[in-house]
Structure 1
Amino acid sequence: MEWPTAFRQLLSDLKATYSNSDDWKLTNAFGPIYRDIHHDLNAQCFSFVRDEFESYLLEEWVAPLANRNRYLSHQAVENHLWVPVQVGAKATGLTRAAVVTLCQRGLIDHREVQRGSRLLRVVHLGQLQEASSHRQSAVTLEGASKILNLSGTRVRQLLSAGLLEFFGEHKVGRSPWLIARDSLTELVSSEVRQASGSGLVTISFVAKHYLPAGGGLVELIQAIKTGALQAYRCDQDEPAALGAWLMRPTDLTSWMEERFQGSNLEFSGLSVPKAAVILGIKEEVAYACVRLGLLESISTKIGRCTQQRIAPKAIETFRRKYILGPEIATYLGMSPRDSLRHLWDIRFRPVAGPTLVSAYCRQYVWSRSKKLLDYLTWRLAHHSDAEALQACAESG
């Protein structure tokens, strides 16, 4: 009656009653019925019972089957997917250490039984074969670093946070990091707008000069994925590496101050050379600006030394309050030397520069006052109109 549903339910009830998680023997799991099916009902007319029992085992028996089982057919034993680790490793061409790592990371289903001092482990062969095919297309840590356009240290931080899927374990048998390509693709699957405006910096640059060495990149990526920060790309049609995504420094400054305030990450600000890179000036100029108080710094004890550290907010404040010679030269359409003479003649004085004894600096720095900006904007428009008229005259 109700064949084969009732028969399968009977087997499930027997297994639930007799089976022990520490015992993988069929005779103990199903009781006397196991011998009855294969010994007392061994006539050809009862083959459908044995076939259904084997079909049940293939679907529900989460344990290995002995290769020398005298009751089960050779096909049932061969098709059974739950196998010992050594068998799964041999079938897929993986090392035992790699299979164990896949189990420990929860990437494949497995069961464990402690037999005295031995730990017996079985794995699902179908899932192991699928994981093996993904592993064959995986890339090394160096390859992932090139694909993402990030340093190896930053890639390791993404691995530790679980943002990247990997195979193998560097502590087991010295097997290399192998990172799944699918996880690399998924990491850059966020919606990224096309870049607009200027003054943007890449995430690779941010990771090198803005973020703490011990972390910060994971939080940055999560902020982009949740929409707390906006990232951009140069060309909307072309896939961009994660490190090539662009961000606005002003957005980063406010986010970092909020995110790392009271954080366990040690972030005491940027060094003066790194701040110089962000500002696009030489180190000597940055140190002079710190000495003159134009670029605000904080004295921080690092190890046994005391260093001057620059907060991201101080960099944005410097950009907002001061303007340097190259930018002024662009406005005026002159060389930096001619720009100095021109502004000096119309009574605009720099706050620091090579000729100022009390405020010596290798580069001229002006206060970004409203009066100076209005004049530079007017000069830029006048210079552009003059160039347009000259081009028209030359063309005809």
Structure 2
Amino acid sequence: MTLLLCGNASRIAKLACLSGLSTPAIHRLVRYLGPFQANTRPLHPGQTLDVHRLDVAIGLVTGAACLLANWPTNLHTRIDELRADAPESPSVRRTFDPLYRVLYDALQEAEFRFLRDAFEDYLHVHWWGLICKRNRRLRPETANGHPRLSLPQMAKAARVPPSVVRHMVQAELVPSNSAELRSGRRARSIHLSELQGIQSATDGARSLEETARMLSLPRRRVRELIVGGLLTPLVSRQINKDAAAWLIPKKEINRLHVQTIQSPDDSDSIPARDILKYWRLEKHESVALIAALVDGRLPAQGDGQSKVPVGKALLCAVGAKEWLLRHRTHARKDFSVDTAAKELGIKQQVAYDLVRLGILHSTNVGMLGHRVSPDDVERFQATYVSLASLASQARRSPRALLAELSASPVCGPSIDGTRQYFYRRTEVKSL
């Protein structure tokens, strides 16, 4: 029987615990492990019908032999199949049932310890969930040495607040595994190997207020840098709406300390933070100014040896004005939707309705929102005319003219909910 299970005599030495089993013990092992064949999940292992029949007995022996061959790889493969086939659960017992019941109830004697050791070795490497004191059937070293930690445990090990680890997980900066509990909450675990990465990422990380002080900038300017992509936070309230605070890595803050160049004392110099405060820059212009400072396109004056926070960087006022003029010259010559509304002599809400419907063409440019070019405005004026303009020209009331016109408006309150009626000029040319 032992030779049949192991396949040959050479494997008996590798599985010495099996060779030491008595004949009744081997019979029990075959009866309980034999049903765990590929792609099967026996409901009641050990209760196989007609086990006295030769074909049924051979099937059980073959099934047990397959699990014991190439020990413990084949057993681990079968355990992995059970895990993949089980409903999502953080419970070891529910996930691996009925194999768990076989190992810890039906075959709980010490002579079958080798089976439980192989199962717990699998858990150590592959089990995504937590193993704690609740798992009393497992070895103490299995529970104490399990490499998966809960979020609070990982936060304690990394010496950071639990909210920081939670938001790093939400931002997918730290890989984790989770499953939904019966209560509706989600159980989540993180592998111990992520501890060093969390410690490195959070070492010296600062809040938004601290970052603003270190960069000598107002907090709103720091937010603009984050939106503009010049500053990448670990925890961002824009990414995680429920985040209690921002968390910005030290290396990101250090990157916004600019190298100075040696220059003679010049009364015509001005700190970057004063330019941001007094020169009435647009939001995208302030981000572009900081980017030019960081890239070295706008040199910061100083002793040529030290680095200074970007807010304290001294710039030649003349050179900064020239840079701003060049930037504005090369910037997009388009309007915001509000400005386009003024150009067209219509209300802002009407302009937004026209943009939404595609009647007034626009381009979405990210943080600047929708932009309307002068050509778009001219094209709209040449193509469309409002009912209010037609009524003013004809010296009629808009309501009376609307009833008389045979042409159909392209938009309006009764058509799509927009506030004004507009017609194609070619269709109302006679007016």
Verify the 8 A CA contact 2:270 2:314 in the aligned structure 1. Answer: yes
| Local SS of the residue matching 1:240 | strand
Give the corresponding residue for 1:239.
Answer: 307
1:252 aligns with 2:320: no
The equivalent position to 1:122 in structure 2, one of 177, 188, 213, is 188
| Residue in structure 1 matched with residue 102 of structure 2 by the alignment | 36
Alpha-carbon deviations, 1:153-201, whole Å to 9, x = none?
212223445614255869999955443323212444x8x5735687665
What is the CA–CA distance in structure 2 between the aligned matches of 1:115 and 1:98, rounded to whole Å? 23
Matches within 5 A, 1:40-51: 40=106, 42=108, 44=110, 47-51=113-117
2:91 partner amino acid: K
Cα distance, 1:151 vs. partner?
1.9
Deviations 1:298-339 (A, max 9, x none): xxxxxxxxxxxxxxxxxxxxxxxxxxxxxxxxxxxxxxxxxx
SS at match of 2:131: coil
How many residue pairs align between the two structures? 262
Judging changes above 3 Å, is the alpha-carbon distance between structure 1 residues 112 and 9 closer, same or farther for their aligned structure 2 residues?
closer
Residue by residue over 1:64-90, the C-alpha shift from the partner in whole angstroms, topping out at 9 and shown as x without a partner, is: 335311332223223334344455556
Q: Which residue pairs with 1:141 in the alignment? A: 208
- Map 1:336-375 to 2 at 5 A: none
Q: Which residue of 1 aligns with 2:223?
A: 156
Aligned pair partner of 1:75 in 119, 141, 144: 141
SS of equivalent to 2:136: coil
Q: Do the aligned residues in 2 keep the contact of 1:92 with 1:132 (CA within 8 Å)?
A: yes
Q: Which residue of 1 aligns with 2:422?
A: none
Contact 1:139 1:179 in 2 (8 A): yes
Instruction: Give 2:78's match in structure 1, choosing from 10, 13, 20.
Output: 10
CA distance in 2, matches of 1:224, 1:265: 31
Residue equivalent to 2:35: none
Is the Cα–Cα contact under 8 Å of residues 205 and 248 in structure 2 kept in the other structure? Answer: yes
Structure 1 residues 211 and 186, CA gap change in structure 2 (3 angstroms): same
Do the aligned partners of 1:202 and 1:244 also contact (CA within 8 Å) in 2?
yes
| 1:64 corresponding residue in structure 2 | 130
**68-77 or 37-46, larger mean C-alpha shift:** 37-46
AA paired with 1:241? P
Task: Using the TM superposition, give the Cα deviation of residue 61 of structure 1 relative to its aligned residue in structure 2, in angstroms.
Answer: 1.8
Hey, what's the Cα distance between the residues in 2 that align with 1:206 and 1:260? Answer: 22
Q: Aligned partners of 1:121, 1:76: CA distance in 2, in Å?
A: 20
> In the alignment, residue 69 of structure 1 is paired with which amino acid?
N
Residue identity matched to 1:14:
L
Asked whether the 8 Å contact 1:98–1:168 carries over to 2, the reply is: no
5+ residue gaps in structure 2? 1-68, 340-431
What letter corresponds to residue 77 of structure 2 in structure 1?
A: Q
Partner of 2:22: none
Of stretches 195-204 and 120-129 in structure 1, the one that deviates more from structure 2 is: 195-204
C-alpha separation in 2, matches of 1:41 and 1:204: 74
Per the TM alignment, residue 147 of structure 1 is displaced from its structure 2 partner at its CA by: 1.8
Greater Rg, structure 1 or structure 2? 2
CA 1:28–1:142 in 2, change beyond 3 Å: closer, same or farther? Answer: closer
Q: Which residue of 2 aligns with 1:276?
A: none
Kindly indicate whether residue 245 of structure 2 is the aligned counterpart of residue 179 of structure 1: no
The answer (yes or no) to whether the contact 2:256–2:309 under 8 Å persists in 1 is no
- Seen in structure 2, the aligned counterparts of structure 1 residues 97 and 80 have a Cα distance that, compared at 3 Å, is same
SS at match of 1:165: coil
1:269-323 CA deviation, whole Å, 9 max, x = no partner?
Answer: xxxxxxxxxxxxxxxxxxxxxxxxxxxxxxxxxxxxxxxxxxxxxxxxxxxxxxx
**Is the aligned partner of 1:165 residue 2:233?**
yes
Q: Which amino acid aligns with 1:203?
A: A
Comparing 201-210 and 151-160, the one that deviates more:
201-210
Q: Distance in 2 between matches of 1:7 and 1:233?
A: 69
Contact 1:147 1:241 in 2 (8 A): yes
SS in 2 for 1:103: helix
* Structure-2 residue corresponding to 1:106: 172
Match of 2:383 in 1: none
Q: Which amino acid aligns with 1:252?
A: L
Conserved 8 A contact 2:205-2:250: yes
Distance (Å, rounded) in 1 between the aligned partners of 2:182 and 2:116: 34
Flag the 1:46–1:142 CA change in 2: closer, same or farther, 3 A: same
Distance 2:270 2:335 in 1: 24
1:201 and 1:256, CA in 2 relative to 1: closer, same or farther beyond 3 A? Answer: farther
The offset of 1:241, in angstroms, is: 1.7
Please report how far the alpha carbon of residue 48 of structure 1 lies from its aligned counterpart in structure 2 after TM superposition.
4.8
CA change 1:117–1:243 in 2 (3 A) is same
Which residue of structure 2 lines up, in the alignment, with residue 25 of structure 1? 91
CA distance in 1, matches of 2:161, 2:104: 38
Cα separation, partners in 2 of 1:239 and 1:40, compared to 1, 3 Å: farther
Seq. identity, % = 23
Structure 1 residues 116 and 222, CA, compared in 2 at 3 Å: closer, same or farther? farther
